[in-house]
Amino acid sequence: MRRVVRRVNPWTVLRFSLVFYLCMLVVWLVAGALLWLAASITGLIDNLERFVTDLFFLEYFQIRGGVILLTALVGGLVLVLLATGINVIMAVVYNLTSDLMGGVEVTVIEKEQAPRRTVV
């Protein structure tokens, strides 16, 4: 059977996009924090700080994990809002375009179900 998608509700796109991108931000921040923790435990952060200090002849160099995490959080929130806004704009553009072009045609195939057996 064929169906035509004529309209996408921008409010639904807004809610879905916001939840989706916020979940992706949480996954990104947790993964980053776990990688930072693993690098800190193994001594990789200290080695990197010493390497940069020696490379550029610095007296002191420190990588601050809290500042990096806070910056990633703020930047991620900006990207969440930006991507959500873009998705909503694209839904509105799709609605306007589908009025002119007729929408997107989707073919849906219904899966045949096996006959039920009755147990006596």
**Domains of the chain: which residue ranges?**
2-107
**pLDDT category of residue 120 using cuts at 50, 70 and 90:** low
CA–CA dist 20, 24 (Å, integer): 6
Does residue 116 register a pLDDT over 80?
A: no
Average pLDDT of the segment spanning 33-37: 97
Ranking 32-41, 62-71, 100-109 by mean pLDDT, the lowest is 100-109
pTM, 2 dp? 0.81
d(CA 92, CA 99): 11
What pLDDT, on a 0 to 100 scale, did the predictor assign at position 1?
85
Question: What pLDDT, on a 0 to 100 scale, did the predictor assign at position 117?
Answer: 74
* DSSP alpha helix (H) spans, 8-118: 10-42, 44-55, 65-101
